[in-house]
Structure 1
């Protein structure tokens, strides 16, 4: 069975725009997914990237245009300047890791709920009540927001190290079990074509 490692950030707008399409691809292609939330700002620092606030104005302007274009293309609401961004992505990531370990819900739906909260709903995913609501929406026990914090912190840090070692430099980033790498929500079709043996 094919496998996908999905590296993502709960505060990434492009992870938000990706929605759960990778999960749909996995279902169609008989693949499994391991979700790996990480600290995107630290990843930028480790892999030659620049946090959005420090980028040249030409890159800032292009990013803004591209986000709007892609959101329209996908029919998704998007606030280019959300009230709570950037925010601390650790609490939501720890909760996601706890949910993945516990099982019983829909991880793709949880990723969507967390990123939508930031980019479309003006919510702060550093707040426990917001994280609990996202967990419940995705079919998980909301109390997972309060459990496994040490393991969550260790896994979150390990995901960053693994990402750096495996060539990840942005989010969302997909790596197949054949080490085929795909960066960005606009490469999901290529991911599927690869899994289907067409690329």
Structure 2
């Protein structure tokens, strides 16, 4: 059975635009997923990327056109300039890590609800109440947000180191157990084809 390590950031609009397609593809092919939220700013710094605030205006102008197009193709609502972005991604990432360790709910739903809160619902995913609500919506105990702080912080840092060592340089990024990599929500069709043996 194939396994997918999914590296992403809860601040990434492109991770939001993944929607639930990764989970659908994994289910189709009987693949498992390990969710690995990480600090995207630190990843960019370590691998030669540039934070949006530091990018050339031409790149940001293109991003302003491309994101709404991608959202329309994905059938997802998107606020190009969310009220609470950027924000502290750590609380939401720690909650995802803790939920994955404890189990009891739908992890894919949790990830998507956190991303949706930021990119479509004008919520601040650094706020405890928002994170707790997302946990409950996905069938998890909201108390996970408190219990998983230390372990979440350690795993969050470990995810970054692992990503850098594996050659990950952006988000979303999908790494299969055979070392095959796909970068971006627009490569999900390629991931699907690869798992089917067609690519």
Q: TM-score, normalised by structure 2?
A: 0.99
Q: Is residue 194 from structure 1 mapped to residue 184 from structure 2 by the alignment?
A: no
C-alpha distance after superposition, 1:112-135 (max 9, x if no partner): 000000000000000000000000
Give distance in 1, aligned partners of 2:19 and 2:167: 23
Give distance in 1, aligned partners of 2:107 and 2:20: 9
Count of equivalent residues = 199
What do you get for the CA RMSD once the two structures are aligned? 0.6
Gapped regions of structure 1 (runs ≥ 5) = none
Give distance in 1, aligned partners of 2:75 and 2:151: 37
C-alpha distance after superposition, 1:106-159 (max 9, x if no partner): 111111000000000000000000000000111111111111211100000000
State the 4+ residue runs in structure 1 displaced beyond 2 angstroms. none
Q: Is residue 101 from structure 1 mapped to residue 101 from structure 2 by the alignment?
A: yes
Q: What corresponds to 1:43 in structure 2?
A: 43
Give distance in 1, aligned partners of 2:154 and 2:171: 20
Q: What corresponds to 1:139 in structure 2?
A: 139
C-alpha distance after superposition, 1:41-98 (max 9, x if no partner): 1101000000000000111011111101011112211101100000000000001100
Q: TM-score, normalised by structure 1?
A: 0.99
